[in-house]
């Protein structure tokens, strides 16, 4: 099985005809993703990459049965694109867009509470279900179908974990890059719950960062409810307090936000904690 996306997902690209949308849609189709069309307001009715273009997400749902959307829309318009997708009934929304204003995401978060949509991102690399579907910008060639689920706040460390798990002979079920912004849709805990419930996922790699409480919340839930081994890593172990490191959400605001504090909580909750990203693959293999 898989979580969020699979080979049957009917994917549209919002911002389809732009440079980013075109490039990554091509990559996604080459991976085997079932892209059924795209949305660019004002260009409805044309074909792009041999797929239909629609003016609205609602039209793509009505005409192509779209259930998944990936968003390559400039940050000023991305919040509206997310809400449009949710309003049209899209089940899984992946927002790649970076730099969406926090005030806009506050509105999006509230808007989604009453709708049956899962948002991944924004400012994220997306989702891959290995050898089935890629919705986002992850490099597909490093993935191999297997038994390990991956959830990460860091795009590049997602790729490192995937590569290590592949080299360890374990492969992946689904990898979810949740994004590093202060306000995101799917949290670490949300993703952990999905992977814990997936019968084909036998172990989980959880990659976090300094800042916020997401990793601690996930760790406490794992302690009480976890049924599979979890390997964890926290990026930013040498980060100074009060200085944002890379992601907008990666800033130490209190004692519990540091890498050391998070790693201590994770160990206390029974998670196998890697001191270095180079240890993740071997540690996961030994934990299974």
Q: What is the pLDDT of residues 76-98, one digit of tens each?
A: 999 999 999 999 999 999 999 99
CATH number of the CATH domain containing 91: 3.40.50.720
| Residue 141 CB burial class (10 angstroms; 0-12, 13-18, ≥19) | exposed
Could you tell me if 115 and 147 lie in one domain?
Answer: no
Catalytic residue (choose from 24, 48, 247, 272): 247
Instruction: Please name which of 196, 193, 201, 207 lies closest in space to residue 155, comparing C-alpha atoms.
Output: 207
Q: Among the listed ranges 89-93, 192-196, 218-222, 236-240, which one has the minimum average pLDDT value?
A: 236-240
Could you tell me if 104 and 220 lie in one domain?
Answer: no
Q: Tell me what the pLDDT averaged over the chain comes to.
A: 94
How remote is the C-alpha of 96 from its chain's centroid?
9
- Which one is predicted more confidently, 49 or 156? 49
Could you tell me if 148 and 177 lie in one domain?
Answer: yes
pLDDT band at 253 (very low <50, low <70, confident <90, very high): low
Please say whether the beta carbons of 22 and 16 come within 8 A.
yes
Helix, strand, coil % (nearest 5) of the chain?
35, 20, 40
Predicted local distance difference test score (pLDDT) of residue 251: 52
Gap between the Cα atoms of 124 and 136, Å rounded: 8
Predicted local distance difference test score (pLDDT) of residue 247: 56
Predicted local distance difference test score (pLDDT) of residue 70: 99
Gap between the Cα atoms of 184 and 182, Å rounded: 7
Gap between the Cα atoms of 280 and 161, Å rounded: 6
- Find the mean pLDDT for residues 229-240: 84
pLDDT band at 264 (very low <50, low <70, confident <90, very high): very high
* 235-250 pLDDT, tens digit each: 977 655 555 545 555 5
- Which one is predicted more confidently, 257 or 254? 257
- From 69, 87, 120, the end of a domain falls on 120
Residue 8 known to be catalytic? no
Please say whether the beta carbons of 287 and 203 come within 8 A.
yes
Residue 144 lies in a domain: yes
Residue 3 lies in a domain: no
Please say whether the beta carbons of 74 and 118 come within 8 A.
no
Predicted local distance difference test score (pLDDT) of residue 236: 79
- Residues spanned by the domain of 61: 11-120
Predicted local distance difference test score (pLDDT) of residue 211: 87
* 117-154 pLDDT, tens digit each: 999 999 999 999 999 999 999 999 999 999 999 999 98
Gap between the Cα atoms of 167 and 114, Å rounded: 42
How remote is the C-alpha of 30 from its chain's centroid?
20
- Find the mean pLDDT for residues 141-168: 95
Percent of the chain whose pLDDT exceeds 70:
93
Q: Is 119 helix (H, G, I), strand (E, B) or coil?
A: strand
How many separate domains does the chain show? 2
Question: Before 122, cis peptide (omega within 30)?
Answer: yes
pLDDT band at 257 (very low <50, low <70, confident <90, very high): confident
Could you tell me if 92 and 183 lie in one domain?
Answer: no
50 dihedral zone (left: phi>0; alpha: psi -120 to 50; beta)? left
Could you tell me if 208 and 116 lie in one domain?
Answer: no
Q: Give me the sign of the Cα torsion angle 100, 120, 207, 29.
A: negative
Predicted local distance difference test score (pLDDT) of residue 2: 87
Could you tell me if 185 and 76 lie in one domain?
Answer: no
Residue 196, φ and ψ in degrees, nearest 5 = -65, -35
């Amino acid at each position: 099985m898989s979580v969020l996306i699979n080979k049957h997902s009917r994917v549209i690209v919002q911002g389809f005809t732009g440079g980013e949308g075109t490039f990554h849609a091509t990559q996604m189709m080459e991976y085997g993703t079932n892209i059924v069309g795209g949305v660019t307001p004002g260009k409805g009715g044309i074909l792009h990459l041999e797929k239909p273009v629609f003016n609205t997400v609602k039209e793509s749902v009505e005409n192509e049965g779209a259930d998944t959307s990936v968003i390559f829309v400039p940050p000023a318009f991305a919040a509206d694109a997310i809400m449009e997708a949710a309003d049209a009934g899209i089940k899984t929304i992946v927002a790649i867009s970076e730099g969406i204003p926090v005030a806009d995401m506050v509105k999006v978060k509230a808007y989604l509470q009453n709708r049956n949509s899962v948002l991944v991102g924004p400012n994220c690399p997306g989702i891959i279900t290995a050898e089935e579907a890629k919705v986002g910008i992850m490099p597909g060639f490093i993935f191999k179908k297997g038994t390990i689920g991956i959830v990460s706040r860091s795009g590049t460390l997602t790729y490192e974990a995937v590569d290590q798990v592949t080299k360890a002979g374990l492969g992946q079920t689904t990898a979810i890059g949740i994004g590093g912004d202060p306000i995101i849709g799917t949290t670490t805990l949300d993703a952990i719950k999905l992977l814990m419930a997936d019968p084909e996922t036998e172990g989980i790699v959880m990659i976090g960062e300094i800042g916020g409480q997401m990793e601690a919340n996930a760790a406490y839930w794992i302690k009480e409810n976890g049924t599979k081994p979890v390997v964890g890593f926290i990026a930013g172990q040498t980060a100074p307090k009060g200085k944002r490191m890379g992601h907008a959400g990666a800033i130490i605001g209190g004692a519990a936000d540091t890498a050391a504090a998070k790693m201590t909580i994770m160990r206390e909750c029974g998670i196998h904690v890697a001191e270095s990203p180079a240890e993740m693959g071997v540690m996961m293999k030994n934990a299974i």
